[in-house]
Amino acid sequence: MTRSELAHSIYQTSHLTGQFTLRSGAIATEYFDKYQFETRPELLCELAAHLQPLIPEDTDVLAGLELGGVPLATMLSQLSGLPTCFVRKEAKTYGTCKLAEGVDISGKNLLVVEDVVTSGGQVVLSTRDLRNLGACVSQAICVIDRESGGAENLAKEGIELHALFRMSELT
């Protein structure tokens, strides 16, 4: 599938109109229901194939953010051979009490994997947590950048965002 065909498929599968409150608190009249493209094996596989070239060469571990980044990171791990960890919004209060499940991340270069970035708020919070655990984080990838200040907010935190698509490209 070409990049433009993938963009069209994402739009047809997941684009909704109406009134939606985003995680950032902003109200949007357009929304991409990411679970509609992440739960379809053919689209998830195509997304990973197109995201794989965006993985920086110095990446040691893919860090999939709860919940939408996890299937993307898992599929990218399968294609790239890189190990992955699953990053919770907050550490469990039972069992291992971990924030990042999977391989050891201390001293490793992590690539944060997210589905949709609006303000970048969750990527910023998760990156701070991962850095506090000893990980090196300077890059993030996503499927859709909503072009709502996320890339700029991440840059202020020393994180470069690589988006497969900007929202304005999806039609």
Q: Are 128 and 158 in contact (CB under 8 A)?
A: no
Report CA Rg, the chain.
15
Q: What is the pTM of this model?
A: 0.94
Q: What count of Cα atoms within 13 Å lies in the side-chain half-sphere of residue 19?
A: 0
CATH topology of domain 50-169: Rossmann fold (3.40.50)
Residue 26 confidence (pLDDT): 82
Residue 25 confidence (pLDDT): 83
Residue 140 confidence (pLDDT): 98
Residue 91 confidence (pLDDT): 79
Q: Which residue has the higher pLDDT, 171 or 51?
A: 51
Residue 86 confidence (pLDDT): 97
Q: Where is 115: in which H helix or E strand?
A: strand 109-117
- Confidence bin at 96 (pLDDT 50/70/90): confident
16-19: long-range contacts, CB 8 A cutoff, minimum separation 24: none
